[in-house]
Amino acid sequence: MEQQLIKTLLSNSTFLTNQANLRRTLFSGEYAYIYDKIKEAHEKYARDLTLEEVYSLWLIDNPVATPAEIHEIRDVIDQLKRVEALGEDITTDVITKLWRADIGREIANIGINMAEGDTGALSRLQSLIESVGDGFVVDDFGEPTTDNIYELLAETSNENKCKFNIETLSRHLYGIGGGDFMLVAARPETGKSAFVISLCASPGGFCHQGYKVVYIGNEEKTTRTKLRAIQACSGMTREQIAEDPDLAMSMYTGVRDNLIMHDAQEWDLDKISAYCERVQPNVLILDQADKIQISGNYNASHERIRELYRSIRELAKRHDCAVIAVSQASAEAEGKLRIDFSMLEGSKTGKAAEIDVCLGIGKPSGGNDDEPNTTRQLYISKNKLSGFHGSVICEIQPEVSRYVE
C-alpha cells in the first residue's frame, strides 16, 4: 500500500487534490524521504514527476550520502517501478483514512503527555483539533428526498401496505407497510397474541395476501402459537384438528411458507436484525417486544425500553419491513375499553415517541368462565399513517384465534 501510494503521488493533480491530508508521518523509512522530494518537486515544478527525477533530486540534496544510503534509495526506486499506481478515487479514500488514523495517534500521544504532567499538552491538543476538525466531518449525505410527486404518492399508497383483515379497522387504517412501526397493547388474557395471529393467518390476513411474516415469540412456546395459526387459518378448533389433522393442514398449506415462527427467548435485537437480513420479511411480529434484550448499560429500565423501541424503529426502516410489537398495558388499563398510549407498561413516553400506530385492545368487564365476554374494542390513540383516532368494535373467537367484525 505504501509503495502504491507513493507512486500515485507522482501525479501532480492527485497530489494537489489530497495535499491537505498528506503528512510525512503517513510514510516510514526511506518512503518518508521519497515523499519529501515528491512534495518539494510538486511545489516547485507543478507537473507530473517520474521516479528517476525524484531519485536525481534526492541525490542532489544528499551530496554526502554514503554508498549504503544511496543503494537503499536506489532499491526503493526500483521497487516502486514494479508496482501499479492506485486510482484517483481510491487514493483519496486511502489517504483520508490514513490521515485520520495518524491524527488519532498524535492525539493519543498528547494525551499521554498530559497524563505525565506536560502543562503545554492541552494547548497543543486544542490547536491540533482546531486545525483538523473539518476533516472528521461526514461529507457523504446521500441524495435528498425526491420531489417526484408520483414517487411520493407510490411510497404512501395503500398498494404498498399489508391490509388488515378486519374490515371496519381497515376502513380507518388500511394496513401497515415497510418501515411502519405499530404497537399492540392490552392487559393479560385479553387476546393480544390472538389478535396478531388473526391479522396474519385468518382469512384475508397478511399471509393470504402473499406477504412473508416472521413471528418472534419470547413468551409462550411458538409450537402452541403455530397451532393457533393453523386454527385461525382453517377455522377449526383444537379438537376438530385432532380429529382430522389432514384437513386442517390442507387448508393451511396455502400460507404455511409465508409464516415463520421462532422461539427467541435468548435472542437479542442484533440477532433479530441479522435474521431479518437473511429472510427479508414483509412483516415482523415481536411478541413480546419489551422482553427483547439490547446491548448497552442503562441506569433505569425506562431508559432501556426507550432505546429498545428506538432501535426497533430503526430496524423497521433498515429492513423495509412492517413491525408489530406486542406489549402489556399497565394496571391502569384494567377493566378499561379505551386503552391509549398513556397506559403502556414501562417507558410510556419513550414507546409513544417511536411508534407510528398505537392500538390498544380493551376488554369489557363482566362475563364468566361459562360465558366469557368476547367483545373487544380496538382503540387507536396514535396514528401517523392515516390520522384516524378512535374505536373499532369487534369480537374475538378464542377457540380459533380469530378476530371478526
CATH number of 379's domain = 3.40.50.300
Higher-scoring residue by pLDDT: 212, 91: 212
**What is the per-residue pLDDT across 200-231, written as a single tens digit (0 to 9) for each?**
999 999 999 999 999 999 888 999 999 999 99
Pick the last residue of a domain from 84, 105, 136: 136
286 - beta bridge partners?
216, 325
Residue 286 to residues 41, 92, 153, 166, 179, Cα–Cα distance (Å): 64, 44, 29, 20, 15
pLDDT digits (tens, 9 = 90+) for 339-382: 999 999 887 788 999 999 999 999 987 666 667 889 999 999 99
Same domain, 120 and 242: no
Please compute the mean of the pLDDT values over residues 137-144 and round it to a whole number.
62
Q: Is 199 left (phi over 0), alpha (psi -120 to 50) or beta?
A: alpha
Report the pLDDT value the prediction gives residue 385, as an integer from 0 to 100. Answer: 93
Predicted local distance difference test score (pLDDT) of residue 138: 52
* Together in a domain, 260 and 172: yes
Q: Which of the four pLDDT bands, split at 50, 70 and 90, describes residue 157?
A: confident
Pair 318, 373 in one domain: yes
Residue with cell 532499491: 75
Q: Where are the alpha helices (DSSP H) in 9-63?
A: 12-18, 29-45, 51-61
Place of cell 491538543: 125
Output the nine-digit C-alpha cell for 196. Answer: 396478531
* End residue of a domain, out of 111, 136, 161: 136
Quote the domain boundaries for residue 164. Answer: 153-404
- Residue showing cell 411510497: 155
Total domain count for the chain? 2
pLDDT at 356: 96
